Structures are given as structure tokens and as C-alpha cells.
Amino acid sequence: MAKIGLFYGSTTGNTKDTATRIRTAFGGDIVTVASIAGATAEDLNRFDVLILGTSTWGFGDWQDDWAAFQREVVQVDWSCKKVALFGLGDQYGYPDTFVDAMGFLHDMVAARGAQMAGVWAGQGYDFASSCAYRDGRFVGLALDADSQSEMTGPRIREWVQGLKGELGL
């Protein structure tokens, strides 16, 4: 069975909470959860599959921990990794940059050869623009803990179920 590492950057705790909920939806021990703050390329290289989570700040800015990790990115062997993403944003407060950081994260790892997984349908959202929205889908699981918190649990469960199938778990 594939070893899955879930790394997140969290400022207020919402992304950390989401990471824990995703781990639970997978069934526990199959997923190792850790903050990207202080993580090294070696930490990520230990896993066959990576789930990376970030929030978007202000008008489309990186979450601070991911901004700091960017210098480590070049040392990760992305070519042998399957990578899925989840992102948190506020579609009503920042409708022009909803989950943009997830799109930035996607571009950063896909350009280095990662095999991307876990795209998510774009239905049920109300936003104007997103760097993470392409061809009618998000590049990963898009969540809005501010305006659609009641949808977070069902979306996580559905996404994890699809991701398990995609990963052959």
C-alpha cells in the first residue's frame, strides 16, 4: 500500500483541521499528517503519495508556511510522486482570488513532474475567478470554511472516496 504524506500550511487552524478530517476520511493510519512549517524535502521524499493543503490569504497570496517552503521544492523528487491538493479560501470575501494559492501550488509541483490527482468539480461555488479553476474543474478540493462550512464534511468524504479510487486504494 502506498505511503501517503499529508502536508499543510495553516495560519488560523482551518487548514490543519481540514488535514485531520481528510486523514480520518481515509481511515486513519494510511495517512501521516504534518505541518509544512519546518518540513524539508527529505520529509516529503519519504512518501509515494502526497496530499498538500494550503489556504489563500488576502488577494491571492500564499500561506506563509508554503511561501517559506518554496526554496525546498527544488530538492523534492516530484517525478515519482502522485500529488493531490486541497485549498481553503473565502469565495464571497475574495471572489476574484478564491483558492488561488492551491493553483500556485499545483503549478509549482506539476512543472517539476508530479503526477497530479484529485481534481474536483466546480459546481456549488459562487466566485468570480480562481487560479485553481481550469476547464470547469478545480485542480484539487476547494473548500470555503467561512461561507460554506456545512459543505466541508460532505466534500471531503466525496473527494477522498474519489481519490482512493484514483490511487487504487
Residue 151 has pLDDT above 70, yes or no: yes
Q: Which residue has the higher pLDDT, 42 or 72?
A: 42
| pLDDT of amino acid 113 | 95
Confidence class for position 75, pLDDT limits 50, 70, 90:
confident
The SS3 of residue 108 is helix
| Structural domain range at position 81 | 4-167
CATH classification of the domain holding 153: 3.40.50.360
Residue 143 has pLDDT above 70, yes or no: yes
| Mean pLDDT of the region 45-49 | 93
Query: Read out DSSP for 118-138?
Result: --EE-TT---S--TTEETTEE
| pLDDT of amino acid 2 | 62
44 exposure class (CB count in 10 Å sphere: 0-12, 13-18, 19+): buried
81 exposure class (CB count in 10 Å sphere: 0-12, 13-18, 19+): buried
Domain count across the chain: 1
